[in-house]
Amino acid sequence: MSEINIYRGNIVFSKTEKELAEYWDSYIVVEDGIVEGIYERVPERFFGVPVRDFGNGVIIPAFSDLHTHAPQYPQRGLKTDALLKEWLGKYTFPLEGRFVEAEFAGAVYDAFVEDLIKCGTMHVVTFGTIHEQATGMLIEKLEKKGIRAYVGKVNMDENSPAYLCEKTEESLRITERYLERYCSNRWAKPILTPRFAPTCSRDLLVGLGKLAKKYGVGMQTHLVESLWEKKEAVRLFPDCSCDTEVYEKAGLYGYGPLVGAHFIFPSEEDIRILKKYSGYAVQCPEATVNVIAGIMPTASLLERGVKLGLGSDVAAGQSLAVFDQVAKSVQLSKIKSFYEPENKVVSFAQAFFMATKQGGSLFGKTGSFEKGYAFDALVIGGLSDDFAPLSPLETVERFCCAGNADNIRVRFLRGDEIG
């Protein structure tokens, strides 16, 4: 016997990149945690099933965060006046070095997972650190909560401080052990995570490519994140024409999801290769403003059919709230468009699509309420003024632009209420 649940309220979700579906005062039927349909009236076959009424609340899909760093959580909202190179060397690497201590790692990762859920993020791609035990704790905590995730043990064997610089062989050995241990996880899966080209030797990347093939896993990294990194990648790997090719040549693509964070300065070759492997590029608007100082050509990439998601990129970004990134993605596109008019302004619908339906597609059928999608959902409220009531669509826009996690009244994960 399947379990049926019916919820009444206003409903908003992305139908396509440019179109948001808006249902006033409707019923969403959920069967075994999966969306069965949306109706104006309860269909006869469901008569007798109790209806949970959310009144003026708006039911929206839960968010997907395609790029963040769980170990940097203690540093969110701090050290934001430094730029990338200084920020890494002076603050961020020393913090990551502390994840050799299991007790510290456990406490940070508990707080990270709790805040993630509080912010309405039910799907996440995250970096760990180089540390096997700490990263194991992170993936186990996400698996236990049933959060769909890709979690990476970071690899770095060059141009890194001594306390984070691995020996190539050892890095590969530990990574293989990590994959063996967790690749049969149901929800939180391992993903290969070379930090970025400047901190990885060719031998390390080629070794990771072999592991990708052997275990059928994907990879995440930072791609064309800054002009410095873009130049450094081709200087260190002179047989490659661009940053994205470095990992292709090492045999890392094609075995699982490909996630490239930032993608701010892509060349035609970067775009061609990412598209060839159906990779996702991730815009992280807060991080861009805080430590990177470049703006992704988001509208142009969307136009060209590149898959885009949004990322909180804590601690370069100050908040785990992906809904904040939706608003900032639109804002940044206006600045980009002002200085480079060939880049169009990103619409609210497009930014919401990146944060839900398109970002969610990395994890399977999540991020929408079309039939067959997982009911990973949030009920938001408390955003209307008595003197000027909002439509469901306006409620969602105000939530992303001026709301906070307290506006999330109820959270569902595959039909179960959580948080």
Which parts of this chain interact with Zn ion (CB under 5 A)?
313
Residue 222 CB, shortest distance to Zn ion, in Å, is 6
Residue 261 CB, shortest distance to Zn ion, in Å, is 5
Q: Is the CB of 157 or the CB of 313 nearer to Zn ion?
A: 313
Question: Interior CA angle at 279 toward 275 and 281, to 5°?
Answer: 100
Exposed / middle / buried, residue 95 (Cβ in 10 Å: 0-12, 13-18, 19+): buried
Q: Is the CB of 312 or the CB of 368 nearer to Zn ion?
A: 312
The three-state secondary structure class of 314 is strand
Tokens at residue 59, please? 């039911």
Number of Cβ atoms within 10 Å of the Cβ of 97: 17
Residue 67 CB, shortest distance to Zn ion, in Å, is 6
Full DSSP string of 170-237: HHHHHHHHHHHHHTT-SSEEE-BEE--GGG--HHHHHHHHHHHHHHT--EEEEES-SHHHHHHHHHHS
Q: Is the CB of 284 or the CB of 396 nearer to Zn ion?
A: 284
Q: Is the CB of 96 or the CB of 313 nearer to Zn ion?
A: 313
Residue 262 CB, shortest distance to Zn ion, in Å, is 7
Residue 171 to residue 179: CA distance in whole angstroms: 12
Residue 182 to residue 140: CA distance in whole angstroms: 9
Residue 104 CB, shortest distance to Zn ion, in Å, is 20
Give the distance from CA 145 to its chain's centroid. 17
Tokens at residue 119, please? 């912010």
**Cα-Cα-Cα-Cα dihedral sign, residues 251, 252, 258, 264:** negative
Q: Is the CB of 71 or the CB of 207 nearer to Zn ion?
A: 71
Q: Is the CB of 270 or the CB of 313 nearer to Zn ion?
A: 313
Residue 9 CB, shortest distance to Zn ion, in Å, is 36
Helices then strands, counting H and E runs in the chain, come out as: 15, 17
Q: Is the CB of 143 or the CB of 313 nearer to Zn ion?
A: 313
Look up residue 11 and give its amino acid: I
Residue 129 CB, shortest distance to Zn ion, in Å, is 12
